[in-house]
Structure 1
Amino acid sequence: MANINKIKGRIGILTGGGDVPGLNPAIRAITIRALREGFEVIGLRPGWKGLVDIVPEKGADNSDSYWMLTEEMVNRVGRTGGTFLHTSRTRPSHVPASLVPTHLKDKYKDEQNDLTLEVLKNIDFLGLDYLIPIGGDDTLSYGVRMHKEGVKVIAMPKTMDNDVPGTDYCIGFSTCVTRTIEMTHRLRTSAGSHERILVIEVFGRYAGFTALLPTMAGAANRCVIPEYKFDIDSLAELLVQDRYTNPSKYSVVLVSEGAMYEGGEMVFKDQEKDMYGHKKLGGIGDLISEKMKELTPKYNNGTRVNVINQRLGYLVRSGDPDAIDSIVPMAYGNLALDLILDGV
């Protein structure tokens, strides 16, 4: 039970960026430990947007922006995927005029607006003593800004890309790898039945872990990752050889969405950028598939090898967390409270 006789402080939690399995277990772990240690816990939603949208006036309806969290509330969702606090890619220091909250539009009229002052006012309005943002490098980069502004921040790494600096593991990565292996094995039946090359594109942005680790686990013959440009002719030759040596006459390559071949560039689905300056990657798998059709006759006695092209997309970040993404968030949540109790 929470210690309601002596409140040690108030903690705010938010989840930002892309959703992954493991967020709800993290929220649950933080909340239960905090309540039992004598803290109150506020869930900010969705992401940093919650701290932008709050109207800091007594009697204002801010129910869309924050909730007081209870054990009963977090226990209901603690084993599920996604984030029940919802998420956004809001960057309070770079808010477009069209997304400035209605009650602030008279004050902020620039094309891009820094609403950090409003965020600080809302943190004070809520009486937050500590802030725990759970996110990737984008979400946590604004956590750095909050730290520089004097807010006590405990940052928790989360991204299926597993590329947040300063940590060996980010929440969501294990489930992504597990799902990728499972789905690749399922697609093998079609690739083998039709004796084709299977090209599978996976998320990962600028890091190759989501393609490399499943390949190391035996899900694919080859992988291409953003860290190293690859030779498209060599890839075609290798996949034809892999297919030839496979009794079922198929081969598999996992393609990180940020991969580039020599002489090529990163492939983007569109040119629109989010608040953190990122364009949406996607399409390198399509390009490789077409190149394989074009190049395979060169290495297959003049005969083209047909291709199955599949983008796994959101399937690898959806659903319930695996064992690792159930255990690690619990450990991270308790570590966050240890740091708070130690006065970090």
Structure 2
Amino acid sequence: MALQTHNNLRVGILTGGGDCPGLNAAIRSVAKTLMLTSNAEIIGIEDGFLGFIERRSRPISYQDCSGIFALGGTIIGTCNRADPFNYNGRDCSSEVKAYYDQLQLDALVIIGGDGTLSIGYELSKLGLNVVGVPKTIDNDLMCTERTFGFDTAVSIVTDAIDRLRTTGQSHKRIMIVETMGRNAGWIALHAGVAGGADSILIPEYPYDIQRVAKACTERMGSHHFSIVVVAEGARPVNGRVSVRENIAGSPEPSRLGGIGEQLKVQLGQFMDAEIRATTLGHIQRGGSPTSFDRIFATNLGSYAAKLVESKQFNRAVIQKGNRLSHVALESVANKTRNVPADDLTLQTAIAMGICFGTPNLKAFPHVM
């Protein structure tokens, strides 16, 4: 059966990977910009790439986009277990392409992190016209200085640290806070600095438990409590990351977690103090986005819409030098942006005496 032709621009929108504050703001911005400037028809792909595999989608109207920018989650759903190139052990990518063609899409806007945009890059090789929007609380996407969702996550963790501090002060305890972030330490670093942590342990620099214990002991001696922030991907020197579970068919099959409790046991071997560990988990990625993330996601979405209108496909929107730009999807695919030694916030933390559990981090002697 021959496909019917269409006159209006038809654009699909997909949100992939973990949910993230700001997704609805991005959906709203992409859709409204395209509707108003190109009279486009917008098709929402339901539940991420799973919607392509199972052929589930729905039209998104202008009214559907009204009043959603403050809502957490995503109105079209998401899924982090539906890699079209390995779904339940089989390659479904040709089915994705067939449904893309059946929907008569002129372009597909994919809103996601490194796993989602990596899949988008592979699909672009099959002929899909893809534009990527950088979303992840982990802030670990290559080529961009920031992703939306990160500011909200940092704000949530900072609030948790503030609350745990009063308990630590009252009971003279060491309070450990485990954050998300996978193999990058951005959330732990920024929330740790914002929350006044004494020690921050991140995946980029394996920690020596004796150094961490020494920092905690010194802090307990002067203030009678201590705050330690540890990223879920952190590990001790010559040790392994803590894996909570493995999920087959996911772009990121290893689910990290448990390092907070491990650190509690490790510290207990070196010091006589009451230690408590708190894992925030999915609290970090839920709820309403901050005003910053609402604005940032809106800006990114509108920019992505303009890339679609100008037929600049297989690109990813990025922020560089506080300005929006775009790079080839290939540049962000299958890569992780880690915290570099010259990062401003990291350097600030080192200069202020925050312990990272390693001798390999030094404050740079000169301002560049």
**TM over 0.5, shorter chain:** yes
Equivalence for 1:158: 135
Query: Are residue 306 (structure 1) and residue 274 (structure 2) matched?
Result: yes
Query: Are residue 119 (structure 1) and residue 96 (structure 2) matched?
Result: yes
Deviations 1:3-40 (A, max 9, x none): xxx95410100111111100000001111111112111
Equivalence for 2:19: 19
Query: Are residue 49 (structure 1) and residue 41 (structure 2) matched?
Result: no
Equivalence for 2:325: none
Structure 1 residues without counterparts, runs of 5 or longer: 1-5, 55-64, 97-111, 297-303
Deviations 1:210-239 (A, max 9, x none): 100112224311100000111011101101
Aligned amino acid, residue 70 of structure 2: R
Aligned length: 305
Structure 2 residues without counterparts, runs of 5 or longer: 1-5, 313-368
Equivalence for 2:79: 88
Aligned amino acid, residue 84 of structure 1: I
Q: Distance in 1 between matches of 2:255 and 2:282?
A: 13
Equivalent positions of 1:87-236 (< 5 A) are 87-89=78-80, 90-96=82-88, 112-236=89-213
Per the alignment, do residues 254 and 274 of structure 1 end up closer, same or farther by CA in structure 2, a change over 3 Å counting? farther
Scaled by the length of structure 1, the TM-score of the pair is 0.86
Scaled by the length of structure 2, the TM-score of the pair is 0.81
Aligned amino acid, residue 139 of structure 2: N
Aligned amino acid, residue 150 of structure 2: F
Return the index of the structure with the highest Cα Rg.
1
Q: Distance in 2 between matches of 1:332 and 1:14?
A: 15
Q: Distance in 2 between matches of 1:10 and 1:315?
A: 35
Equivalence for 1:9: 9
Equivalence for 1:289: 264
Q: Match for 2:300 among 332, 340, 344?
A: 332
Task: Assess if the C-alpha contact under 8 Å between 2:159 and 2:195 holds in 1.
Answer: no
Equivalence for 2:218: 241
Aligned amino acid, residue 94 of structure 1: N
Task: Assess if the C-alpha contact under 8 Å between 2:162 and 2:195 holds in 1.
Answer: no
Give the Å deviation of 1:127: 0.7
Deviations 1:25-69 (A, max 9, x none): 000111111111211100101000101101xxxxxxxxxx21100
Deviations 1:91-121 (A, max 9, x none): 001011xxxxxxxxxxxxxxx2111111111
Task: Assess if the C-alpha contact under 8 Å between 2:234 and 2:241 holds in 1.
Answer: yes
Query: Are residue 270 (structure 1) and residue 245 (structure 2) matched?
Result: yes
Give the Å deviation of 1:72: 1.1
Q: Distance in 2 between matches of 1:142 and 1:114?
A: 12
Query: Are residue 31 (structure 1) and residue 31 (structure 2) matched?
Result: yes
Q: Distance in 2 between matches of 1:34 and 1:245?
A: 58
RMSD: 1.3
Aligned amino acid, residue 343 of structure 1: K
Give the Å deviation of 1:272: 4.1
Q: Distance in 1 between matches of 2:172 and 2:7?
A: 65
Task: Assess if the C-alpha contact under 8 Å between 1:45 and 1:85 holds in 2.
Answer: yes
Matched-pair identity in %: 34
Equivalence for 1:260: 235
Aligned amino acid, residue 61 of structure 2: T
Equivalence for 1:104: none
Bigger relative contact order, structure 1 or 2, given CA contacts below 8 A and separation 6+?
A: 2
Q: Distance in 1 between matches of 2:114 and 2:270?
A: 38
SS at match of 1:295: coil
SS at match of 2:130: coil
Equivalence for 2:318: none
SS at match of 1:155: strand
Task: Assess if the C-alpha contact under 8 Å between 1:208 and 1:225 holds in 2.
Answer: yes
Give the Å deviation of 1:271: 3.9
SS at match of 1:113: coil
SS at match of 1:178: helix
Per the alignment, do residues 7 and 39 of structure 1 end up closer, same or farther by CA in structure 2, a change over 3 Å counting? farther
Runs of 4+ in 1 over 6 A off after TM superposition: none
Q: Distance in 1 between matches of 2:49 and 2:112?
A: 11
Q: Distance in 2 between matches of 1:185 and 1:291?
A: 24
